[in-house]
């Protein structure tokens, strides 16, 4: 029996009131926070990887990932409005399926938020290193004069030494989160505006010159492989990272004014805004310059990030070979300077994604600590800034150091593995609560719940199967480590220890 030590929803709300965070976020801030978390590495960097796996059919991959996220968003909105406290999928699962399942979900969310933040740190450093290497800064210096030594550009496991810029951006975001949620939200609003302007400029230039001939063949990689990682479904599983983060809105529920109304607005509005942009950007990129993948001897797309792919890209200006695909497209269309500005916009704006991913991670660990599953010291609130500073410092240290050492490679897929589990569990939780507590007040109700939630679960399973093998192995190993930690610490220290099932 795994559904034990269930923490009643009323008790969750009471616990939150004893050590609560200050409510200071409104619907516009939540929508901007959600958009800031979503628009980032996925669209600015992973567009090229999606094109390599699926070709022009990456547009279908964007739609598949958006549909799965949209279905899960309705489930998140219902539970977040019912239980407006920190913790996201972890908290909801605790109140429906019990402590063990909740622990597994909370532990898996580390992959979504911490690994995701690490991936964005590395992606940001790549853009910034490129700027330092190739720009003269309006004639003030010689191109490359400010470039860092090669061993400081990439991490040890990428063949370098210490990725200094990835480390620095991780530390900077940590400091911003500690000084206060409202301050970080205001900075984030500016960064979101920059990203939206950059994507709007890209769409305005690329979409009008798109040609149907550039979309043929449309399915060069097919729909997918039983082993995952290729084709339309493989690209959808990877590009899912481009949507990860909208659920971070729900982790801010405890700091939201009128959460019953504002959480659903923030969740759904941010997802709709991002989906529209992604479809336009995907069509503009593929239709304007083409998005055909590099093929191997077997006629199938090469795996991104492999030596074979790197060899195939030598001397090529193909979209799939670019580390900055949006800027690359504009340069190919003759808008070199605007392409450079798009790169600068990515450099300025990507920290907002790191901010929201780390924000989500700290709030989940804060809640797990408050429940006794992690040491109580992690839920200490700063006396001046009213933020959980201890766990923020710890999370920031892990993200910064890992960003300095590890490659971006399969980090996105690994992050997706934890996210998909969380999405599936939230959808299951909504259905269970509809049966167990039909009379409970629901400020927001998932429409057609018995169709939407099962489809969300099936969609998450489909994308998980199509993740890379590396991501699936890491997920399983991480889950086993989490179970060991729970058995040695959380099982005995939990606030529900000795109370049995409820």
Model pLDDT, residue 1: 39
pLDDT value for 111:
79
Phi, psi dihedrals of residue 495, rounded to the nearest 5°: -60, -25
226, pLDDT greater than 70: no
Using the structure block, give the residue that is written with the tokens 């699962």. Answer: 93
Does pLDDT of 386 surpass 90?
A: no
At 239, give phi and psi (nearest 5°). -70, -10
Arithmetic mean of pLDDT over the chain:
79
Residue 239 clears pLDDT 80, i.e. is over it: yes
> Domain for residue 202, yes or no?
yes
Tokens of 475: 């997920």
pLDDT band of 33, cuts 50, 70, 90: confident
Closest C-alpha among 202, 195, 273 to residue 28: 273
The mean per-residue pLDDT over the stretch 114-143 comes to 78
Name the residue among 430, 374, 418, 442 with its Cα closest to residue 118: 418
Picking from 459, 432, 361, the residue whose alpha carbon sits closest to that of residue 69 is 459
pLDDT at 259 over 50: yes
Q: What percent of the chain has pLDDT over 70?
A: 82
Answer yes or no: is 14 within a domain.
Answer: no
Element (H, E) at 348: helix 336-349
Average pLDDT (175-192) is 70
Does 20 reside within a domain? no
Rounded to 10 degrees, the C-alpha dihedral 500/100/267/199 comes to 160
Give the other-Cβ count within 10 Å of 371's Cβ: 25
Whether 432 maps to a domain, the answer reads yes
248 falls within a domain: yes
Mean pLDDT, residues 26-38: 72
Distance CA 386, CA 179 (A): 8
- 């004069």: which residue's tokens? 145
The count of domains in the chain is 1
pLDDT in tens, 338-372: 888 888 888 887 887 788 788 878 877 877 887 78
Q: Is residue 150 part of a domain?
A: yes
**Which pLDDT does position 55 carry in this prediction?**
84
Q: Is residue 270 part of a domain?
A: yes
Percentage of the chain modeled with pLDDT above 90: 8
pLDDT score at 418: 85
For residue 346, which of 364, 369, 323 has the smallest C-alpha distance?
A: 323
Q: CA torsion angle for 312, 314, 315, 321 (degrees, to 10)?
A: 70
Q: Whole domain around residue 79: which residue ranges?
A: 27-291+302-493
Res 2 pLDDT > 60: no
- Does 183 have pLDDT greater than 60? no
* Interval 215-244 mean pLDDT: 81
User: Can you give the pLDDT at residue 400?
Assistant: 92
User: Distance between CA atoms of 430 and 450, rounded to whole angstroms?
Assistant: 10
Q: Residue 444 pLDDT > 80, yes or no?
A: no
Residue 217: is the preceding peptide bond cis (ω within 30°)? yes
Rg of the chain over CA atoms, in angstroms? 22
486: domain CATH number? 1.20.1740.10
pLDDT tens, residue by residue, 330-343: 888 888 788 888 88
Cβ count near 191 (within 10 Å): 22
Return d(Cα 30, Cα 246) in angstroms, integer. 10
17 part of a folded domain: no
CA distance 221 to 460: 21
pLDDT at 4: 54
pTM for the model: 0.78
């Amino acid at each position: 029996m795994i559904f034990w030590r269930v923490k009643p929803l009323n008790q969750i709300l009471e616990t939150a009131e004893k050590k609560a965070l200050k409510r200071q976020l409104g619907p516009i801030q939540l929508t901007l926070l959600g958009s800031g978390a979503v628009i980032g590495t996925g669209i600015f960097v992973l567009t090229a990887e999606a094109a390599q796996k699926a070709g022009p059919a990456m547009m279908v991959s964007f739609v598949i990932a958006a549909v799965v996220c949209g279905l899960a968003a309705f489930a998140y909105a219902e539970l977040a409005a019912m239980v407006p406290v920190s913790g996201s999928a972890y908290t909801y699962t605790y109140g429906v399926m019990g402590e063990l399942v909740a622990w597994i979900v909370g532990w898996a969310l580390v992959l979504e938020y911490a690994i995701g933040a690490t991936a964005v740190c590395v992606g940001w450093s790549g853009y910034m290193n490129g700027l330092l290497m190739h720009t003269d800064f309006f004639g003030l210096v010689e191109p490359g004069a400010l470039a860092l030594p090669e061993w400081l550009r990439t991490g040890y496991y990428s063949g370098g030494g210490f990725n200094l810029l990835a480390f620095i951006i991780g530390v900077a975001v940590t400091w911003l989160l500690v000084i206060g949620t409202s301050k970080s939200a205001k900075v984030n609003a500016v960064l979101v505006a920059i990203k939206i302007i950059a994507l709007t400029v890209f769409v305005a230039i690329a979409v009008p010159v798109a040609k149907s001939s550039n979309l043929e063949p449309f399915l060069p990689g097919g729909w997918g492989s039983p082993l995952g990682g290729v084709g339309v479904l493989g690209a959808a599983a990877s590009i899912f990272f481009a949507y990860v983060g909208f659920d971070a809105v729900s982790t801010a529920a405890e700091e939201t004014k009128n959460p019953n109304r504002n959480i659903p607005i923030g969740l759904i509005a941010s997802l709709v805004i991002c989906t529209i942009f992604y479809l336009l950007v995907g069509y503009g990129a593929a239709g304007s310059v083409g998005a055909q993948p590099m093929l191997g001897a077997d006629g199938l797309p090469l795996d991104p990030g492999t030596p074979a792919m790197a060899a195939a890209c030598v001397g090529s200006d193909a979209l799939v070979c670019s580390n900055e695909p949006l800027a690359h497209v504009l340069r190919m269309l003759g808008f070199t300077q605007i392409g450079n500005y798009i790169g600068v916009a990515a450099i300025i704006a990507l920290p907002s994604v790191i901010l929201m991913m780390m924000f989500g991670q700290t709030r989940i660990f804060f809640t797990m600590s408050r429940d006794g599953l992690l040491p109580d010291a992690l839920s200490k609130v700063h006396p001046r800034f009213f933020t959980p500073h201890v766990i923020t410092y710890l999370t920031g240290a892990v993200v910064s150091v890992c960003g300095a050492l590890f490659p971006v490679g399969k980090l996105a897929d690994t992050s997706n593995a934890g996210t998909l589990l969380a999405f599936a569990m939230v959808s299951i939780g909504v259905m269970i609560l509809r049966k167990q507590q039909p009379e409970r007040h629901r400020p927001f109700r998932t429409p057609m719940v018995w169709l939407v939630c099962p489809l969300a679960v099936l969609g998450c399973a489909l994308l998980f199967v199509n993740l890379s093998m590396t991501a699936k192995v890491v997920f399983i190993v991480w889950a086993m480590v989490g179970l060991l930690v729970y058995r040695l610490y959380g099982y005995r220290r939990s606030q529900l220890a000795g109370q049995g099932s409820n």
